[in-house]
Amino acid sequence: MTTRPRRSLLYMPGSNPRALDKARSLPADGLILDMEDSVAPEAKSLAREQIAAALKTGGYGHRELIVRINALSTEWGAQDIKAICEFPTAPDAVLIPKIDSAKDVVDAIAAFESAGCPESVDMWIMAETPLCILNIAEVAAAHPRLRGMVLGTSDLSKDTRVRHTPDRLGFIAALNLCVYAARAYGLTVIDGVQLDIENDELLHASCEQGRDLGFDGKSLIHPNQIAAANTVFAPNEDEIVAAKGIIKAFEAALAQGKGVVVVNGRLVENLHVEEAKRQIALAATIAQLSG
């Protein structure tokens, strides 16, 4: 069993060459090389050029490289697609924003395929509009090349007037629905950003909430947020010890012809063993990537 860690996905503006260079040394699991929100209209072309150059130069190690394009409804979307499909070195994935429906997913991926996008490039979408949340099951099942989704809680806040509160109460329904849809259709699902980059306590709490809601990791807007996400979304030592204990006890029970066993006062079935194995595999991959 192998599990690719996606504890921390850091947005990096494609128009900032210093940021693209610095990203090579950051301990994030993945980088979202951005052509959209963090890039001014007059810098869109520059962002394409600099992202292409950064991918060609390489040096990003194990980090997953995802390029976020502009929406197809904008004047830059089609140009972004054409540029990416002509990059000398393809990214690991592309991230498509402003998705409302399953048709939007199909049309966007068709545009990439028509432009000659390599099959090795995975497709991800932003879940950031009210219609996307309402249609999330159909969106998640829209295309076999779709591999992940990232919550865009800032855009959701703008469109719904839901406020960013410490408990994120107004977003809970959307967060839950996206996790359920992702799990139903085998997608990675990444939590939205924490905007307050100077509040470490709030960031840690937000990461813990996202983990407990079922997210695979957190999208980030500042390098200082990486450590919290990497810590919270990784199994800790106690969890690994407990996972190994569950597997050992269950295997002993099976040897005696039993399908369940009690470990530390809690009933353990096969479904708990599957999760224990996932945690151990994730921890092993993190340890390997960390050297």
User: What is the average pLDDT across 224-250?
Assistant: 93
Q: State yes or no: pLDDT of 31 exceeds 60.
A: yes
User: What is the average pLDDT across 178-202?
Assistant: 97
- Residues spanned by the domain of 254: 237-289
Query: Would 244 be classed as within a structural domain?
Result: yes
Q: Give the pLDDT confidence score for residue 261 in this predicted structure.
A: 83
Residue 2: C-alpha distances to residues 65, 148, 283, 285, 286 (Å): 19, 17, 10, 7, 11
Asked if 217 and 106 sit in the same domain, the reply is: yes
- Calculate the CA dihedral of residues 150, 154, 158, 162 and round it to 10 degrees: 100
Distance, CA of 26 to chain centre: 17
Asked if 261 and 211 sit in the same domain, the reply is: no
Write down which residue in 232, 258, 278 finishes a domain: 232
Token pair of 287, please?
A: 């340890």
Q: State yes or no: pLDDT of 260 exceeds 90.
A: no
Query: Would 19 be classed as within a structural domain?
Result: yes
Q: Give the pLDDT confidence score for residue 1 in this predicted structure.
A: 41
Asked if 200 and 273 sit in the same domain, the reply is: no
Query: Would 2 be classed as within a structural domain?
Result: no
Could you give the angle at the alpha carbon of 140 between the alpha carbons of 136 and 144, nearest 5°? Answer: 160
Q: State yes or no: pLDDT of 136 exceeds 70.
A: yes
Per cent of the chain over pLDDT 70 is 99
Q: Give the pLDDT confidence score for residue 55 in this predicted structure.
A: 98
Closest CA to 262 of 46, 272, 86, 164: 272
Query: Would 24 be classed as within a structural domain?
Result: yes
Q: Give the pLDDT confidence score for residue 227 in this predicted structure.
A: 97
Residue 230: C-alpha distances to residues 78, 149, 152, 216, 286 (Å): 34, 19, 20, 11, 9
pLDDT category at 237 given cuts 50, 70, 90 is very high
In CATH, what number is assigned to the domain containing residue 192?
A: 3.20.20.60
Q: Give the pLDDT confidence score for residue 259 in this predicted structure.
A: 76
Name the least confident of 43-52, 125-134, 235-244, 258-267: 258-267
Asked if 73 and 150 sit in the same domain, the reply is: yes
Q: In whole numbers, what is the pLDDT of the chain averaged over residues?
A: 95
Asked if 78 and 56 sit in the same domain, the reply is: yes
Q: Give the pLDDT confidence score for residue 76 in this predicted structure.
A: 98
Query: How many CB atoms sit inside 10 A of residue 89's CB?
Result: 12
93-110: pLDDT as tens digits: 999 999 999 999 999 999
Q: d(Cα 117, Cα 85) in Å, to the nearest integer?
A: 5
Asked if 172 and 210 sit in the same domain, the reply is: yes
Closest CA to 246 of 262, 234, 258, 257: 262
User: What is the average pLDDT across 113-128?
Assistant: 97
